[in-house]
Amino acid sequence: MDAPPPDGGPRPPLRLLPTGGAAHVSQPTPFGVGRPSGAGRDDITDVMQRVAHGDKQAFSTLYDALAPLVFGIVLKVVRDRAQSEEVTQEVMIELWRQAARYRPEAGSVTAWAATIAHRRAVDRVRSAQAASDREHAQAAREHTTAFDEVTEQVEARLESEQVRRCLRGLTELQRQAVTLAYYQGLTYREVAESLRTPLPTIKTRMRDGLIRLRDCMGVTT
């Protein structure tokens, strides 16, 4: 948003939109007041072309004409006045930065500005929704994690001695494999590499070891 205008000069300051008393904000200030009918579109196109060359006064004129329209479009989508004002400023800055890309044959300046305004408004709503979803998901994870940690601590105190006793009943390879997999989180392949034992052998020993542990601890399936 801080990129220089097309001529390399400083970007002109933007005026903040009023926060109150703007009941009718969906219509731009008309161009060519007092001129023959049909001159408005030509005027705003000329203004946009001057903006593309870094004309600050032209941008001020463009801002006065389009900011109310942009704000009205954004407000209908975002539904929040403060955020709508922010998005409007972003849209006007984008119009300043992208003015050189405007092509009259593709449509009117007003339609182009309206398209950018709607896209920016939708992006803001989606961004806000994504942030809200992340917050809810994080809160749910924290709640679940806290509950699971308490449960695991209780179960660990009750079963730790039994687990140690049952592990002593396994062969050395079985005990090492099970310990690496379930207490250190290693995969079968990582266990095999750590113990320098073929992967099929590790899988067999772990399967047999887990069956013995299950029977020793009285676990039913």
Distance (Å, rounded) from C-alpha 99 to C-alpha 192? 63
Mean pLDDT taken over the chain: 76
pLDDT per residue as tens digits for the range 171-219: 888 888 888 887 777 888 888 888 888 988 888 888 888 888 777 877 5
Residue 168: its pLDDT value, please? 81
Distance (Å, rounded) from C-alpha 221 to C-alpha 214? 9
Distance (Å, rounded) from C-alpha 209 to C-alpha 179? 11
pLDDT per residue as tens digits for the range 25-69: 333 333 433 333 333 555 899 999 999 999 999 999 999 999 999
Q: Which of 77, 116, 114 is nearest to 94 (CA)?
A: 116
Query: Per-residue DSSP letters for 178-193?
Result: HHHHHTS---HHHHHH
Burial class for 45, CB neighbours closer than 10 Å (0-12, 13-18, 19+)? middle
Residue 213: its pLDDT value, please? 78
pLDDT per residue as tens digits for the range 15-26: 545 444 443 333
Split at pLDDT 50, 70, 90, the class of 148 is low
Residue 164: its pLDDT value, please? 77
Residue 184: its pLDDT value, please? 77
The yes-or-no verdict on residue 96 having pLDDT over 90 is yes
Residue 37: its pLDDT value, please? 36
Mean pLDDT for the stretch of residues 149-176? 70
Split at pLDDT 50, 70, 90, the class of 131 is confident
Give the SS3 label for residue 58: helix
Mean pLDDT for the stretch of residues 154-165? 64
Residue 134: its pLDDT value, please? 77
CB–CB of 159/217 below 8 Å? yes
The yes-or-no verdict on residue 4 having pLDDT over 90 is no
Tokens 């300051």 found at: 13
Better-scored residue on pLDDT, 200 or 131: 200
